Amino acid sequence: MKIYRVGGAVRDKLLNYPSDENDWVVVGATPEKMVKLGYVPVGSDFPVFIKPDSGEEYALARTERKSGHGYQGFTFHADKEVSLEQDLVRRDLTINAMAEDADGSLIDPYGGQRDLSSKLLRHVSDAFTEDPLRVLRVARFAARYHHLGFSIAPETIDLMSSISASGELDYLVAERVWKETERALGEQSPDIYIQTLRQCGALEALFPEVERLFGVPQRADFHPEIDTGIHTLMALQQSVRTSGNSAVRFAVLVHDLGKGITPDNILPSHSGHEARGVALVESLCDRLKVPNHFRQLALAVTEYHLMCHKALQLESELIVKLLKGIGALKSSEKLEDFILCCEADARGRTGFEERDYPSADYLRTALTKIMQVSIADLVKANTDGAEIGRQLTLRRIACITELKQTYRAS
């Protein structure tokens, strides 16, 4: 029985890149032997065990055979006779098909170290096409290592395109699509994830609402880059500069979905795109089972981002409506995340990348003032609840009106 560290930990060690992955493969063992040694079995799809003292996963070396659709459509064979090389050949990329033995020696049967040196993401074998999830994984790795100069091998892009054209992506379960997407949004170049999916035809299959943005014109005076899809990628790049929060980046990705269905007769204007976009964001989040905190921020940004851009010109009532609508009256953190999204949107335009965003400080000041409004006198007077609510709104509006008269943007 031999144990090898495999995959991401080996890859990132060679790259001297931060990694929290630690995967292990066990060769020459049986499930019974693993249990006898104290490993705890988990899952039912294939033999994977937890080492109690570390909590890390140890998988028996295995081979696999395509038996159905999607990433779950495989029959696995784990046996003590399965070699390390047989286990590694089923992996997606050569840089993920390396192993390290107990002495730290590298086992690299498929040229992973060579491709690391060449900064190339290349598939291990033609079996790559059997698992449609690999399209998203490769796109995620492209987003992870783009800043280091990595690119995808043309022949691997060709296989990814073949998978997209085959219809296999339709069989991916929502949770796996979202998991890969969330991880990609957390990488240094999430825009590359979107570009890669689009390049191989997967964006249209998995995120048709985003695909629809490309080629849609905008007013050149507001958007010198013109193309809505290009603007979305630029805004996503800007979101990386301002936040490491994947929820912020997701909201930026989907904030303009309404522009993809703007009636042709009003283009390049996009009047009303915010309201049109809300239903599209809801639909996308439902389809991919997006977590609620991602959904809520995305919906707030979709509906209110234009109001945020115009905050200093808005009437007092609309400022109160904006702050209430995004949930800022209950949590100041929601305002901060919302502002980060809107800043990325405003700067994600050709020539606007370094512009100031005065709406940010104005809305922060407005929220501070609003939260100081007191209704203690109304409560003391046993005023009816509905009337308290009405008076609170009026006092908040008056507070903003007073602020507008004295506020000076820095």
Q: pLDDT at position 70, please?
A: 47
State which of 53, 88, 111 marks the end of a domain.
111
Evaluate whether residue 316 is within a structural domain. Answer: no
Evaluate whether residue 402 is within a structural domain. Answer: yes
Q: pLDDT at position 75, please?
A: 59
Tell me how many domains the chain contains: 2
State which of 72, 87, 111 marks the end of a domain.
111
- Measured CA to CA in angstroms, residue 34 lies from 23, 53, 54 at distances of 16, 14, 15
Evaluate whether residue 338 is within a structural domain. Answer: no
Evaluate whether residue 381 is within a structural domain. Answer: yes
CATH of the domain at 6: 3.30.460.10
Evaluate whether residue 242 is within a structural domain. Answer: no
Evaluate whether residue 330 is within a structural domain. Answer: no
Evaluate whether residue 270 is within a structural domain. Answer: no
Q: Which two tokens stand for residue 379?
A: 């409560």
Q: pLDDT at position 111, please?
A: 96
In this prediction the pTM is: 0.91
Evaluate whether residue 5 is within a structural domain. Answer: yes
Q: What is the pLDDT of residues 115-161, one digit of tens each?
A: 999 999 999 998 899 999 999 999 999 999 999 999 999 999 999 99
Q: Are 3 and 26 in contact (CB under 8 A)?
A: yes
pLDDT along the chain (410 residues), means of 10: 91 90 88 89 79 88 63 62 90 95 94 97 94 97 97 98 96 96 97 98 98 97 97 98 96 98 96 97 98 98 98 96 97 97 98 96 96 91 90 95 85
Q: What is the pLDDT of residues 4-50, one digit of tens each?
A: 999 899 999 999 998 877 889 999 898 889 889 999 888 666 688 99
Structural domain of 36: 1-111
Place of tokens 């892009």: 157
State which of 82, 111, 140 marks the end of a domain.
111
Q: pLDDT at position 73, please?
A: 46
Place of tokens 């047989």: 86
Q: Which two tokens stand for residue 332?
A: 């100041």
Q: pLDDT at position 204, please?
A: 97
- Measured CA to CA in angstroms, residue 304 lies from 52, 114, 125, 190, 308 at distances of 49, 49, 48, 23, 6
